[in-house]
Amino acid sequence: MPRYDQLKNKILARSACVRYYQLETGRIAIPGQYWSLCGEQSTKDTSEINQLVRLGLIRKNQFYGVDKNRFLIKRNMLNHPMAHWFHGEWSDVIYNQADFRPSIVFYDSTGMMSTEQEKDTVRATLHLSPRGTFLFFTSMLNNPRRPSQKITEKDITDIYERISGFECCSQRRAVYVYHSTRHTRMIIHVFRKDH
Ligand SMILES: C[S@@+](CC[C@H](N)C(=O)[O-])C[C@H]1O[C@@H](n2cnc3c(N)ncnc32)[C@H](O)[C@@H]1O
């Protein structure tokens, strides 16, 4: 697994999401919770949680991290005991969490948003989120292991149409495109839930 706390492009991508939120809302800090598909959160300044605290977006106790990897969650608990950590499948965790009240969700996937499962995840997350939530959703634009698998502009428009047909979003657009590795381009979409 890449060291996401050291990848320059990843750090810039997170900054782009923070800047987007701050410009759109006029707020420096979020009023509620920040939910993340978290991976490992080290004690380095450039881990996601520490970067967001440094940018003034959150306090540590506003960070809610979910991962299906039990060992990463255990390590995160030791590294950042003031944050909230959940081991499990994203959809199960948020569905069973009575206190799911995000201001921001960072669904930092390494899949392609064209699959039905990923579209369902976006829809379910928006459905459970309160009004005004910003959902940032990362996905691959190409699959380096399967060169024929690519996402086109048309795929993206179709995905936006299908999602907003189900949940009302005033904003659904690409925020940022970057390389996670030399051969993998990633895109971050934002969805803002209206009602
Ligand atoms: C790209 S990493 C997260 C990086 C992190 N957000 C950061 O900025 O440092 C994605 C993580 O999501 C986890 N993951 C992927 N799909 C998941 C799912 N459906 N439910 C729970 N965890 C998942 C993986 O185990 C992996 O650790």
Residue bearing the CA closest to ligand 1, atom 27:
39
Q: Is residue 144 part of a domain?
A: yes
Q: The domain containing residue 28 runs over which residues?
A: 8-193
Distance 139 CA to ligand 1 centre (A): 11
Is residue 106 within 8 A of residue 100, CB to CB? The reply is no
Q: Is residue 20 part of a domain?
A: yes
Would you give the distance in Å from CA 92 to the centre of its chain? 16
- The predicted model scores a pTM of 0.95
* Ligand 1 atom with the shortest distance to the CA of 4: 9
Look at residue 155 in the predicted model and tell me its pLDDT. 80
- Distance separating the N- and C-terminal Cα atoms of the chain: 37
Q: Is residue 42 part of a domain?
A: yes
Dump pLDDT digits (tens) for 32-46: 999 999 999 999 999
Lowest-confidence region among 23-32, 128-137, 146-155: 146-155
Q: Is residue 2 part of a domain?
A: no
- DSSP 8-state symbol, 62: G
Distance 81 CA to ligand 1 centre (A): 19
Among 57, 64, 67, 73, the mutation site with the greatest number of ligand 1 atoms within 8 A of its Cβ is 67
Q: Is residue 96 part of a domain?
A: yes
Residue 101's CATH number: 3.40.50.150
Tally of structural domains, the chain = 1
Dump pLDDT digits (tens) for 59-74: 999 999 999 999 999 9
Q: Is residue 58 part of a domain?
A: yes
Look at residue 26 in the predicted model and tell me its pLDDT. 97
Q: Is residue 1 part of a domain?
A: no
Dump pLDDT digits (tens) for 56-110: 999 999 999 999 999 999 999 999 999 999 999 999 999 999 999 999 999 998 8
Measure the CA dihedral 76/126/102/192, to 10°.
120
Residue bearing the CA closest to ligand 1, atom 10:
39
SS3 15: helix
Q: Provide, rounded to the nearest whole percent, the portion of the chain with pLDDT above 70.
A: 96
Nearest to 122 by CA among 166, 178, 183, 78: 166
Q: Is residue 3 part of a domain?
A: no
Q: What is the pLDDT confidence band of residue 195, given thresholds at 50, 70 and 90?
A: low
Dump pLDDT digits (tens) for 3-25: 998 999 999 999 999 999 999 99
**Ligand 1 pocket by Cβ (under 6 Å):** 4, 10, 36-39, 48, 66-69, 72, 89-90, 108, 110
Structure tokens at 11: 């750090």
